[in-house]
A and B are shown apart, each in its own frame.
Chain A
Amino acid sequence: MIEQTTPAAEPSQASASAKPVIRLESVFKTYDLGEIQVQALRGVSLEVYEGEFVAVMGPSGSGKSTVMNILGCLDRPTRGHYFLDGVDVSQMSKKELARIRNRKLGFVFQQFNLLSRTSALENVELPTVYAGIPPEERAKRAMESLTRVGLADRAGHHPSQLSGGQQQRVAIARGLVNRPSILLADEPTGNLDSRTSVEIMEILQTLNDEQGLTIVLVTHEPDIAQYSKRTLEFRDGKLRRDNIVRDRSIAREVLLTLPTAEEQAAEDAEDSARQEKLAADKAAL
């Protein structure tokens, strides 16, 4: 039974299109492990419209990763259909799926997954390489993408020379370089501290609000889910809840309330000074 606070058919404010960009129709996924059969998804149906910002949640084993893999065209449903932009991709060949991933989807991972010893620009270029785009055009598009995430001045840096937040921004730029309509993010803030996490959410919200980018995000943190507009909760291979987010967090505003790096350093200095004084007083006694 799916519990919905609002009917799923009602699109978010950014879109008025009648056709969904993502539609799962009774999708089942079974893994055959010889003697055991694992039913990862048991009849999932859902729709996502253009411009939505959806958070996929659930405990491990709930099927949320499996759903993301299918949405990302990295895996095929055992039964059922997946319509991406109206096209049934569920039975496409591996080669065709690769092409779809290249043109229509952008990926952001928890562990950034950038190529080491490679410049940010070359990292962002990667999807364009497989799109068969000539070298000069590739560099141009990569720069545009880096500019969108505010890292144009770091184009020549290697990941080892970038902070976690910057690396994730490069990853987002990479995900956007072929101008896909959908961005899939798997725990994008999992490896980042609180402030940087909010900075990343700000970028995602901006991309979603200003450019109508459809975003599907997997997270297990309710705080992060609060930045999205709609949450899908999975458990035991089924979609259990489909809610519109109430009191949505706006990252830009949240950032103002968080201490900056300098303020944090100052606070740490105060703390350690206080500790030393306490220890000195104790010793004097």
Chain B
Amino acid sequence: MDFMNTFRLALRALARNKMRSALTMLGIIIGVGAVIAVVSIGQGANYLVQQGIAAMGTNAVFIAAGSNRAGGVRQGYGGVRTLTIDDMNAILKEIPLIKQAAPSLSSGQQIVYGNQNWNTRVTGTTPNYFDIRTWPVQSGSVFSDEEVDLAANVCVLGTTVEKILFLDEDPIGKTIRIGNLPFRVDGVLASKGQSSVGQDQDDIIFAPYTTVQRKIQGITWLQTINASAVSQPASLAAVAPITSLLRERHRLRAGTDDDFLIRTQADIADLQDQTQSTMTYLLGGIASVSLLVGGIGIMNIMLVSVTERTREIGVRMAVGATEDDVRRQFLVEAVTLSMLGGFIGIIFGLVGSALISNLLSWPTLISGKAIIAAVIFSAAVGIFFGYYPAHKAAQLDPIEALRYE
């Protein structure tokens, strides 16, 4: 019996009880549909985030003050005190791959204006930071290089802070208190919205790094150097020279760890990819449980079907069907069920993810891999869960089967 034939006969057998076949397929349809939708949405989310990362500037190089090992216990990044503004200037001077750089250091501070107060992050930096991050002002202006030299008490607000402290009032020129110190508001930054990890990027205040170092935190070092290379390949190529320069400046002996961390855009993008795929696979795995349940449903129904058709199996054997014929017939019926369910599930999954992407204005990326995996999986489920009933059918004794009531 060739396969096309068997397949057609299987379809006809399934068509004899359309309602039952449809209900049996439901488990697979839901399982496959869910997996496809989840993976498509996950990939779409990843794409969004990657776009966001790319928007930050693909030439970005971040140098963070490294982890501090005190007695074998890592103290997290920023605990180290060796990264300085002189390091940054040295990098700018000696590594032509780096076009420009801005320092940053942050801490949480209590902000007061009138009878409004708010706790937010206050970050110290230089004016070119806003170029590197492509972050324009929507009103007023950013502090100047002179104000940085003078460690002036000036700042720019993110739109969230502006709304909370000033409501509808114009903040430009007004004085707020950061910690206990008065600061003049020079400008308000344009809104950046939520970051890829759900953080409100507008809940922030920027001030000259010198002011933050001396007057707010009372330190002389930096947390991060935000640099921008001349091109994306340059950003990758700059990692090695920056590393050796800083190791030399920090007098690190060979064999000791770096006391800083360098991340390029590519690294961040990779990390994002990894995180997202892990999430997606996890969710996909959970959705796959539904596939398993669908498979059990198929096995159940096939067993019932075999019992119901005991007489029929007896007749088939009487007119010449071998054990192999019978086993193949029921196996093909099970696989047909599962694969049909799989195809319908794929369609439902695609439609579902298109709907969701429409509702959430979220792009969905259809993963060819996921579709192929879904097809293979549904076939596998059919074979695995269909085997036992098919085997039972083939092992029937024709005489007993013919006598079955």
Contact = CB atoms under 8 A, between A and B. Distances in A.
A129 B322 contact: no
Given A74-B398, A113-B402, A135-B5, A130 B316 contact: yes
A74 B1 CA distance: 22
B368 interface: no
Interface in B1-17: 1, 5, 9, 12, 16
Contacts of B324: 95
B316 A126 contact: yes
B1 A94 contact: no
B399 A75 contact: yes
A174 B320 CA distance: 12
Contacts of B12: 118, 122
B4 to A, nearest CB: 10
B330 to A, nearest CB: 15
A109 interface: yes
B321 interface: yes
Given A113-B315, A115-B312, A131 B320 contact: yes
Contact of B318 (A72, A103, A115): A72
B5 A94 contact: no
B319 interface: yes
B9 A129 contact: yes
B317 interface: yes
Contact of A98 (B1, B311, B317): B317
A90 interface: no
B1 A132 contact: yes
A130 B319 contact: yes
Given A74-B398, A74-B399, A126 B319 contact: yes
Interface in A30-80: 69, 72, 74-75
Query: For chain A, which range describes its interface: under 10, 10 to 19, 20 to 34, or 35 or more residues?
Result: 20 to 34
B320 A98 contact: yes
A32 B316 CA distance: 26
Interface string B295-325: 0000000000000000110111111111111
Q: Which of A102, A132, A135 has the most CB of B within 10 A?
A: A102
Contacts of A132: 1
Contacts of A178: 320
A117 B320 contact: no
B15 to A, nearest CB: 8
A101 B317 CA distance: 9
A99 interface: yes
A174 B312 CA distance: 14
A129 B1 contact: yes
Interface string B179-213: 00000000000000000000000000000000000
A113 B325 CA distance: 19
Contacts of B321: 98, 130
B142 to A, nearest CB: 80
A129 B323 CA distance: 15
B318 A107 contact: yes
A74 B322 CA distance: 12
Contact of A116 (B9, B16, B323, B399): B16
A127 interface: yes
B16 A101 contact: no
Interface of B: 1, 5, 9, 12, 16, 311-312, 314-325, 398-399, 402
Interface of A: 69, 72, 74-75, 94-95, 98-99, 101-103, 107, 109, 113, 115-118, 122, 126-127, 129-132, 135, 174, 178
4 A-B pairs with least C-beta separation: A102-B320, A130-B320, A127-B319, A98-B322
8 contacts: A101-B319, A107-B315, A113-B314, A118-B16, A126-B319, A127-B319, A129-B5, A130-B322
